[in-house]
Structure 1
């Protein structure tokens, strides 16, 4: 099943409380459709699942009596709400076959489940709610943190992230994916964001002389590293500026991420850059 692409961001019209209510209603709908039946079993008139879902959630999160989802508790504890959103993502599976149990109007029983299509559908439905909410998070649709709540961004930055996550050019791509995962994680602190910027700086440092010089003027290339070196991002130096606002780290991250994408284009159009034991090498592309 093709992965759903993130659509244009919608206006944030839902308060946090309304978003939670819509989420709880959505979960009830998905349960009726059988999306949690692989995990919870069927709440059958002949074999009710009782408190089975609540006990399973308690084992996972350490908190009792969370099924059916208690709206007011989720409103009072947003971290708990976020944990539930992620946990149910991992529990979703799309049913492929069903049969009708008519006794006592029990309803449909489902069998044969597809996990990934179920999770794709869950992310799409939940993100439609979150994208209209005040939370500022959405479920990641790609990368190692797929299904985890990450900081929502505008369409341009979302496209940039998606392209870099899907790129496969060995270790540099792995470093970039790691940096993205660190930076956009729910509740990422200053140290995590700083580590993400450091990871991107290392990627750019390896490309500094052979790729960046093809894309940027020498003074502009050097300015990129003055940012990281002068503001206590890469090195431990008493001369570095430490009292800058955290949003500065956000700005540096996106500048560096866009520059990584720029160097990828330079490499793709002009040649193939490879680090080696003898130093960096730039191999001209041959079209034969």
Structure 2
């Protein structure tokens, strides 16, 4: 689900959203959540030993009753993700789920005064699992689209940036989306990039459960290209010298997905996102993960 070059380019994309306030960046929390490899069955992460305390400052007000009341009664916020999308979320060398989204969810849990539990599920199973009430919200570098809005509600965007095309380092002649006509394009199953690739004339779309599998297919020349978020593309390129990024596409917004019956939780999370932009915590997370 992160090791990036071009710090200035990435921060200019992200800090335009994250830097709404004038506060100094707060030190990000570095706790990690344990998980097994991503699979269609959810895998719970290890929980912190005690419920964290909200950060200093004017705390968002959680309404009485509803979804939030159930979370507080359980003593934990359960989130769903797909840990194959660095630097948003991925598995580290110790099989812990780490990333920007995980730290962001941890801050939300702290504001609620509860522990954080992470379920690792293949990406195409996340929205069905959310609607089946397997967890409280979905955070997985998820692009906000009109199609997805038909089944889930979204938070305010917490990040903006373009998609990108990645090819093998030896590939020539691809510098824009139209150049993929008649080519093979790797995407993650069920992703917004799948929809983009499907509209390319004559292209053969190869769908993979994990983006790590898609990246390996490009690196080994099994496919001509892949389309994914530019931030994630830079992470894969930094990790694998066989890959290169050749084009950035139109910007997209990234948000947190909620069930339609979770208005109180969604509104509370929007308040937390605003607070984090104002007090510097969002800037701190950006600097931690997008470097």
TM-score, length-scaled by structure 2: 0.26
Where relative contact order (Cα < 8 A, 6+ residues apart) is larger, the structure is: 2
Bigger radius of gyration: 1
For normalisation by structure 1, the TM-score amounts to 0.26
- Specify which structure has the higher proportion of strand: 2
Greater percentage in helix:
1
